[in-house]
Amino acid sequence: MAEIVLNNALHVYEVRGSGSHVTLLHTVGLSTREGWRNQIPDLSRQHTVLTYDIRGLGESERGTEPLGVQTFARDLEALLGALGVEKTVLMGASLGGSIAQAFTAAHPEMVRGLILVSTTCKMSAEGAARLRERNERVRIAGMQVAVDAQIKTQFSEDFIRSRPDLISWYRSHYLANDPEVYMTIMEDQASLDLCGQLRDIRCPTLI
């Protein structure tokens, strides 16, 4: 683990392995680089793998910049620049996928490839309404509301019964989120529209 100040906020990151460069961008719920813990060992056998905690999440500071995808994309630019990374493959899940899209559209020369997992360029009206409804429930009752809803929608009942260890780990990481940070990022996700920038993405992309 290492620390670096990016745009006036302390960020925590890790680099493992050697080879062509890959950057992993985590979700808002699984709010740390540890969300990639099962993928890093395999990827780092052939690649240099960069993971970090996004601003306001995990061990990275919130700072004073607005919490949202555009700020997070600028933080990523600063991190890659500080580490001397000229080109990388970006793999982003959910929030991380939004950051990957925004960054690639703004800096196509820095991205060799793009892998987008469970993400979108724009929420549907129904999806945005669900996020805002969840935010209101989090505001009243705290992060437990969010993690209960997430576990119910992301895992089957059989999986929940067979992997209590993973569910416990997932729950503890989700509950570690600062509710205000979580709600701010989720509101940004609800209003985000990157669809007009997709035409600027020219690199090989796996969805």
Under DSSP, the state recorded for 88 is: E
Question: What distance in Å separates the CA atoms of residue 113 and residue 100, rounded to the nearest whole number?
Answer: 10
**What pLDDT is recorded for position 32?**
81
pLDDT tens string 92-137: 999 999 999 999 999 999 999 999 999 999 999 999 999 999 999 9
Fold exhibited by the domain 1-122+193-207: Rossmann fold (3.40.50)
Task: Please state the length of the chain.
Answer: 207
Question: Angle between the 125-141 and 143-154 helix axes, to the nearest 10 degrees?
Answer: 140
**pTM here?**
0.94
